[in-house]
Amino acid sequence: MISSIAAITSLARRDGHRFTEQDWADAPVEQQPYAAAKVASERLATAECAALGIPLSVINPAMIVGPVYAAHQVSGSVELVRALATSRFGSAPPLGYGLIDVRDVAAAATTALERGATGRFILCARSLWLAEVAALLVARFPEWRIAPAGSRASRSSWPGCSPARFPCATCAAR
């Protein structure tokens, strides 16, 4: 099952806490409907698979990035890259994200299925500030008109934003 890191993260920030597969998102549906839906679907799948005696592995990827093959792809990560590429934000806002390539998500899901892995697996290859993502995009796509990044001081003063709140390692089936 492909879920999301959103099913793991919490709005109740704890200083120094690194989220793991044992954590569950706790925001009410009114505040975080996506996260609440992911938690509900994981819990339902877990209960149904347990009742049927079927092993379940849940892949919890960070923000999925990578090639887009559909002409009209709609997703949060695609929209974020589009906003950076068109300078919709002005300069990159002081936010950090964990990232994973879509091909790595597919490979991890395949590996988990082939090995009969059970449990939850966070997938996060790198954690970057949006300014760092913008710099990578400029290097790869110099024709895009991406605004220069904001200052490091503005990033560090943004409350609660850290790109390193998840263990960044690809899935190692257990």
For the chain, list the strands marked E by DSSP.
57-61, 63-65, 96-101, 119-123, 126-129
Query: How far apart, in whole angstroms, are the C-alpha atoms of residue 52 and residue 58?
Result: 16
| Interval 142-146 mean pLDDT | 75
* In the predicted structure, residue 171 carries a pLDDT above the cut 70: no
pLDDT at 84: 72
* In the predicted structure, residue 21 carries a pLDDT above the cut 50: yes
3-state secondary structure of 140: helix
- Which range in 10-14, 17-21, 47-51, 138-142 is most confidently predicted, on average pLDDT? 47-51
| Interval 154-165 mean pLDDT | 40
pLDDT at 36: 94
Angle CA(112)–CA(107)–CA(115) in degrees, nearest 5? Answer: 20
The more confidently predicted of residues 36 and 165 is 36
Among 54, 4, 62, CA closest to 33: 4
* In the predicted structure, residue 153 carries a pLDDT above the cut 60: no
**CATH number of 5-156, picked from 3.40.50.720, 3.40.50.300, 3.30.70.100, 3.30.70.640:** 3.40.50.720
- Please state, as a whole number, how many other Cβ atoms lie within 10 Å of the Cβ of residue 104: 19
44-74 pLDDT, tens digit each: 999 999 999 999 999 999 999 888 777 776 6
Query: How far apart, in whole angstroms, are the C-alpha atoms of residue 167 and residue 49?
Result: 27
Query: How far apart, in whole angstroms, are the C-alpha atoms of residue 25 and residue 84?
Result: 28
